[in-house]
A and B are shown apart, each in its own frame.
Chain A
Amino acid sequence: MTDFSESGEARRPRLDEKRSFGAGAAPKDSRGWSATAMVCALFIILAAWATFQAAGQHAAAFGLGGTVSSLLFWVPVFCAALLLWPAIKSVTRGQKARDAVAAHDLITARIETANALNYAHYTVGFAALFVVVIALAQFLMANNLAVSRTFLSVPLLDLSFPLILKAFWVNIYIFVVAEICVLVWGLIVAVARLIPGKTAAPIRAIATLYTDIFRGMPAIITIYLIGFGLPLSGLPILKDLSVETYAIIALTLTFGAYVAEVYRAGIESIHWSQVAAARSLGLTYMQTMRYVIVPQAVRRIVPPLLNDFIGLQKDTALVNVIGSIDAFNQAKILSSNYFNLSPVTVVAFLFVVITIPQARFVDRILEREQRRTRAG
């Protein structure tokens, strides 16, 4: 006992011993970053000046009026000029940091260096954003506005929008019905693939085969085969369905395979102890799935499920191959009539616009679910 404490005493460093911490060194020099920030800011201001001066002139040539044209020039240039503020801050804070190092005030030096770097990073980040905006504006104005005229012809946008919006209801009808079918069908396939026991091996094999085939087959080919094949087959009922119904069948088969795999991953992610707990209470396998496992799995698979649904919504544009007058087909007709792609831009816009609220909606329900069941 005494031995131990004595030897311990001897090894312990004495209090007056000199020790230095690595963290006590002077901060890195921030001048490189500050200079980069300054150069970026000046470059962006010049580029914005040149680009939006041209834009203003184009607008004036269109007869948009002096106020609009000058706003089109001054607003972007003013925003670009705002970059000077963090760039200058970065330089001045860097200077303060160097003064503090000279005065041996390491704490202030560190704080000011961190500030200088922060301001520099802001400048460079926003400069990158401006690069994108300027590049886009240049692209639209290139070749004397040829790009704008091809994709964004205002009179044509105006003319085609109501027609395409009306045709878009066909897409909406197809994907809403197909999504409901996919939810049910995918779950059936997933559960079939997971049935336990030797006797269910053929069922599992069928489900696996189905998934392998329809996940591998391009949706456009499935639509083509079903849309043209079933009417030709002469089968009762199946030969007389509408084009939209064929599209729904084809998309359900394709996306049912994807969604079945999503369900399966979700079901398998639930810990087996949940099955043990449910079965130990006397619930059958199917009851365990129905009341305990699938409800928990569904909560986990909502984000990947939304991915597949957005994929499905976009693939409704493929139904034009079997002659349905959906939004894309309508747009194609219009664009060949006017030899201009602006109607197709409208379709692209519509597809993007419908997915955004869905993504936010899913975020919301997941958040609400978290608040409800998790410890707060």
Chain B
Amino acid sequence: MAMIEIRNISKSYGTFQVFDGLSLEVEEHQVVCLIGASGCGKSTLLRCLNGLESIDSGEIRIHGDRVTGPGVDVNALRRDVGIVFQSYNLFPHMTVLENVTLAPCKVLGKPKAEATALAMPLLERIGLAHKANEYPDRLSGGQQQRVAIVRALAMNPMILLLDEITSALDPELVAEVLNIVRDLAADGMTMLLATHEMGFAREVSSKVCFLAGGKVHEEGPPEQIFGAPTQERTAAFLQRIVEAGRL
């Protein structure tokens, strides 16, 4: 049984249909990249997976448990499914350490000392332990995004969702963030990435999904999708990426 099963989901905003019977499976320890044009629903899919958005029909199961529809404990779901946003969304009134320890303290009920003891090695790992008592506004974009990743990791999630986490960064800061994702992939973290970094998608992912028309238009191993796409629409999309010099 796959870890994440997305079965035939549909969702629309007014007259705009985001998903039209989309299905997708993610195995444990897989890194799945979602690619596609802007507005194709990459971000929305990730937000549905941890309950920030609801779906109109179909269902999503994680470890066999249904996590969509009425009566689902979204707070419990979010404890196990972390998400990192394009715009970092750190809490500006808290220090880096407070950002990271807030959820472990308030959601998991850990004492402050224990949460700090768990957070510091994580900050150490991303090379920002010395910034623990700084406020986010004093950090560069890349540093903020690394803290945001650690903030999600501090909850020890089973699944990590990364929503275009390098899109808001200056080019020279992208690598420091991607290196962390590489490390996490090597550790076996199950991850879903919405990304425009095609080179990176090709390198780390076990599966690439091209989203179009409210469905997974084509999926397969990265060599197949980037090397020899079978669908005309996938090929056209990748052609435009190549023209933009991004692949």
Contact = CB atoms under 8 A, between A and B. Distances in A.
Interface of A: 273-274, 276-284, 287, 291-292, 295-296, 299, 372-376
Question: Of residues B47, B74, B90, B103, which shows the largest number of chain A Cβ atoms within 10 Å of its Cβ?
Answer: B103
A359 to B, nearest CB: 23
B89 A276 contact: yes
Contacts of B91: 274, 277-278, 292, 296
A272 to B, nearest CB: 10
B152 A273 contact: no
Given A276-B89, A282-B103, A283-B107, 18 more contacts: A277-B85, A277-B89, A277-B90, A277-B91, A280-B52, A280-B83, A281-B107, A281-B151, A281-B152, A282-B75, A282-B76, A283-B75, A283-B103, A296-B91, A373-B92, A373-B137, A374-B135, A374-B138
Given A279-B52, A281-B155, A284-B75, A375 B93 contact: no
A296 B92 CA distance: 8
12 contacts: A273-B87, A274-B89, A274-B91, A279-B74, A280-B152, A281-B155, A282-B78, A287-B107, A292-B91, A374-B135, A375-B137, A376-B138
Interface string B67-89: 00000001110110011010101
Nearest to A281: B103
Contact of B137 (A277, A291, A296, A374): A374
Interface of B: 47, 50, 52, 74-76, 78-79, 82-83, 85, 87, 89-93, 102-103, 106-107, 135, 137-138, 151-152, 155
A296 B93 contact: yes
B133 to A, nearest CB: 11
A185 to B, nearest CB: 24
Contacts, number: 66
Contacts of B74: 279
A326 B132 CA distance: 52
A212 B153 CA distance: 45
Contacts of A277: 85, 89-91
A273 B85 contact: yes
Contact of B78 (A273, A280, A375): A280
B106 A291 contact: yes
Contacts of B152: 280-281
A280 B90 CA distance: 12
Contacts of B78: 279-282
Contact of A372 (B50, B89, B135, B155): B135
Contact of A291 (B82, B102, B151): B102
B195 to A, nearest CB: 18
Contacts of B75: 282-284
A295 B107 CA distance: 18
